[in-house]
Amino acid sequence: MDVDSSPEEAGSGNGNGNDENSNGTAREELQASASLVGGPRLAPTYSVVNAILEKEEDGPGPRCGHTLTAVAAVGEEGKPGYIGPRLILFGGATALEGNSANAGTQTSAGGGIRLSGATADVHCYDVLTNKWSRITPFGEPPTPRAAHVATAVGTMVVIQGGIGPAGLSAEDLHVLDLTQQRPRWHRFDF
């Protein structure tokens, strides 16, 4: 792509999209130059995927304040014990309460919008089979919470903080170990 081209050269063509610098060719040149100089990149294309739910409770349902963490596969594909890549959804609030007309305003009565229905649910989306399932790990689960943080460390999901029915959950750290067929919670207090 010639950066110093004149307006006449850049705009030449008959306007029907059949000239050399339009559509596919221009797009390819833009992608090539963007990847070389770190400039703008074209957005990827996506397609809609309808996930499989064998039972209604398998799906996470509508919620806010949850985390969705990508976890790598365990084992070698095609071998016994292989568990494919997954997305782990944890917690969140299933409802909002309060007066939405006064959103963001606080009154002496504590008005405004608050999270409600905090959960400690764990749902797993299997990337390879396009299927949601609800999982119940062994061990002591975290208290229900929303607005927490989560990150993957290998095949474990680390969860910390958040807001639950008892207020802030800042004194604990939970690790969901996904290396086995049946996941397990581990709790660390600090």
Sequence spans of domains, the chain: 1-46, 56-189
Q: Provide the 3-class DSSP secondary structure of residue 142.
A: coil
Q: What are phi and psi of 158, to 5 degrees?
A: -100, 125
Half-sphere exposure of 178 (CA within 13 A, CB side): 29
Task: Classify residue 149 by its DSSP letter.
Answer: E
Q: How far apart are CA 32 and CA 37, in angstroms?
A: 9
pTM of the model: 0.67
- pLDDT computed for residue 86 by the predictor: 95
Tens of pLDDT, residues 165-187? 888 877 889 999 998 889 999 99
- pLDDT computed for residue 180 by the predictor: 84
Mean pLDDT of the chain: 78
| Conformation bin of residue 119: beta by default, left when phi > 0, alpha when psi is -120 to 50 | beta
Positions of the chain with pLDDT lower than 50, given as ranges: 1-22, 102-109
Q: Provide the 3-class DSSP secondary structure of residue 26.
A: helix
